[in-house]
Chains A and B, each alone.
Chain A
Amino acid sequence: MKRRLYRTWLHYAGLTLVGLVMVYPLIWLFFASFKSNQEIFGSTKLLPTEYIWNSYKLGWRGNGSSDFRVFFINTFQMTVPTVVFTILSSTLVGYGFARFRFPWKKPMFLIMISSMMLPNAVIIIPRYLLFKNFGWLNSYYPFIIPAAFATSAFFIFMMVQFFRGLPKELDESAIMDGCNSFTTLTRVLLPLTTPALFSVGIFQFIWTWNDFYNSLIYISSVSKFTVALGLRMSLDTSSSVPWNQIMAMSIVSIIPCIVIFFLAQKYFVEGIATTGIKG
């Protein structure tokens, strides 16, 4: 009994130690946003000796070309439609794959699954040229329109898995009650798949919000910059700028993701566990 207790405590100690190492960088970032340049570069202490309170206000306002208020609005304008369309399209397509029989369904499903492994790097150049021809460069359409056409197989697969988990008798009795296939989906199945919808939405929100590579390629004018691009710009241009402002904006840029994660972490972890792709 005593040995067991000892072991439990050892376990907690281990968990805590690793946990501290994991979150320490984020805590450090938070406190660094209140430090002076001198202290950021000169001291490795966690807490600032002297707090600078205006870093958030000044960083938010930016200097001349950069304005984080605009970057934030931009990022929402890009992320929210992308998330909404992803949820809609992957629900419909997932429903189609999970509940209907149609010609070439099997090969199509296989192609869909294997498209998850198609490296983005391989298709990025023709995609860029395609969007250029459509006149979509320097807009958020390269994110929103593909989302509306369910190009993220990961989310389709996620929805398929969830739909498969629901008993087919539900559909059958809905049809008996006079539902057609669409109202079966909206009235009977969708209320039961809210956890899945949450998972899809949260994942897509965080990925789109944090996206850097695609934004870097598709968006060129500063007035359209997302938070990620804005941050990277201020990194580049500001060798003399107070770093605490950049730290402060880094913190602000991750807050939406962290808030969403804590509000909906149950769906999050379940989401990966049931389908689990992507790293």
Chain B
Amino acid sequence: MAEAAPQTAKLRAEGLNKRRKAQLTGLWYVGPWIIGFLVFQFYPFLASFYYSFTDYDLFGQANLVGFKNYIHAFAEDRDFYQSLKVTFVYALIAIPARLVFALAIALMLSVRLKGVNFFRTIYYLPSILGGSVAVSVLWRFLFMKEGVVNGALSQLHIPAVDWLGSPEVSIYTLGLLAVWQFGSSMVLFLAGIKQIPQELYEAGRVDGASRFRMFFAITIPLLTPMILFNLIMQTVNAFQEFTGAFVITNGGPLKSTYLYAMKLYEEGFLYFKMGYASALSWILFIIILILTAAIFKSSNSWVHYEDGGKSI
């Protein structure tokens, strides 16, 4: 007995050492991310909060000014309200339109037919071009007054629309660009649809349910987690949309496409009001946070989890 005790202690110590070593190994691999996260994400995150309370302008010193930047935005800056309004309108148009379109197409593509993959590729093509300038060039020309879109409309005897020149319409034209690039949402929906067990539809058929009924009773409920996920990511993205507004319309006409990201860019990198721009970025952050939190909260009542929500 007396001899065995030190032996087990030694063994235990060795085991501990081994475990500690294994723990360190993991940290080595994750290390680059830890450094990258702290330097390139966490520090800037805190710093922008600090700057938002200063008058830093890149050339002078950063002086603390309390809530002055925030007060200026809400009380004095009319462009701020305009950009908020435009961005909300844009999000309200682009997000639902894109999701509905993506879902409809995904349903069309989920049918087992020859050549469906070819169509999937074609539909995805515009999405890989993303926010590229080439696409903005294209949009400018398609939607100009004598452009292709109006030409096609006139064939259908629909009067021409001033897609980019009219302040009432221009934001919708940018929204259309977002709809055109629905590919990634479509692929996610497709993956979701493929995971729905076929037995459910068979059971539905046995019970004499119509296709229409099965769509709303089986397909949609089982896709709700995917819809939630898409909704969140699209919201985060839509509130930061920049390239289209900047290149196609440059915020105009009459600031009708003056998206929040453009406002932020101008304050920060055109006028170098770093303090004020930081405040604007934190307002944006809070808005996105509230919206995503609200979506998450509401999801309790409309998202259906097959395993009763255990996986989240």
Contacts and interface: CB of A to CB of B under 8 A. Distances in A.
Interface of A: 8, 11-12, 14-15, 18-19, 22-23, 25-26, 28-29, 32, 40-42, 44, 89, 92-93, 95-97, 99-103, 105, 108, 111-112, 115, 117-130, 146, 148-151, 156, 181, 206-207, 209-213, 216-217, 227-229, 231-232, 235, 243, 246-247, 250-251, 253-254, 257-258, 261-262, 265, 268-269, 272-274, 276-279
Contacts, number: 281
A19 B180 CA distance: 11
Interface of B: 22-37, 39-41, 43-45, 47-48, 51, 58, 98, 105, 108-109, 111, 113, 115-116, 119-126, 128-138, 141-142, 144, 146-148, 150-152, 180-181, 184-185, 187-188, 190-191, 229-230, 232-234, 236-237, 239-240, 242-243, 246-247, 260-261, 264-265, 268-269, 274, 277-278, 281-282, 284-285, 288, 292
B129 A210 contact: yes
Given A96-B29, A210-B131, 9 more contacts: A92-B32, A97-B30, A102-B23, A102-B30, A115-B41, A123-B41, A149-B36, A217-B265, A228-B132
B141 A32 contact: yes
Given A28-B142, A269-B124, A102 B26 contact: yes
A121 B281 contact: yes
> Which 5 residue pairs of A and B lie closest in terms of their CB atoms, listed nearest first?
A149-B36, A100-B26, A44-B151, A96-B29, A102-B26
Contacts of B129: 210, 254, 257
B234 A250 contact: no
18 contacts: A8-B113, A19-B119, A96-B29, A101-B23, A102-B26, A111-B37, A112-B33, A119-B240, A121-B240, A121-B281, A123-B45, A127-B40, A213-B265, A231-B134, A247-B137, A251-B134, A279-B185, A279-B230
B88 to A, nearest CB: 15
A25 B51 contact: no
Contact of B132 (A12, A212, A265): A212
Contacts of A250: 133-134, 137-138
Contacts of B190: 273
B138 A25 contact: yes
B268 to A, nearest CB: 5
A25 B177 CA distance: 11
B219 to A, nearest CB: 17
B192 to A, nearest CB: 9
Nearest to A185: B29
Contact of A93 (B29, B51, B142): B29
A276 B188 contact: yes
Contacts of B264: 121, 124
A257 B137 contact: no
B116 to A, nearest CB: 8
Contact of A119 (B26, B40, B111, B288): B288
A206 B128 contact: yes
Contacts of B37: 111-112, 115, 149, 151
A130 B42 CA distance: 12
A250 B247 CA distance: 13
Contact of A272 (B23, B113, B188, B246): B188
A119 B284 contact: yes
Contacts of A272: 184, 187-188, 191
Interface centre among A115, A122, A213, A247 (most CB of B within 10 A): A122
Nearest to A212: B243
Looking at chain B's contact residues, is the secondary structure mostly helix, strand, loop, or mixed? helix
Contacts of B135: 254
Given A122-B285, A206-B128, A100 B121 contact: no
A246 B138 CA distance: 10
A253 B32 contact: no
Contacts of B188: 272-273, 276
Contacts of B141: 29, 32, 40, 243, 247
A69 to B, nearest CB: 17
A8 B116 CA distance: 12
A93 B31 CA distance: 7
A232 B133 contact: yes
Contacts of A276: 184, 187-188, 191, 229
A213 B131 contact: yes
B247 A235 contact: yes
B185 to A, nearest CB: 6
B130 A26 contact: no
Nearest to A131: B40
Nearest to A12: B113
B45 A265 contact: no
Contacts of A15: 108-109, 116, 119
A181 B37 CA distance: 24
A246 B247 CA distance: 14
A62 to B, nearest CB: 15
Nearest to B38: A149
Given A25-B138, A25-B142, A122-B282, A279 B36 contact: no
Interface centre among B134, B236, B284 (most CB of A within 10 A): B134
Contact of B125 (A22, A93, A207): A22
A123 B288 CA distance: 14
Contact of B44 (A92, A126, A213): A126
B49 to A, nearest CB: 9
A100 B29 contact: yes
Contact of A118 (B39, B41, B136, B152): B41
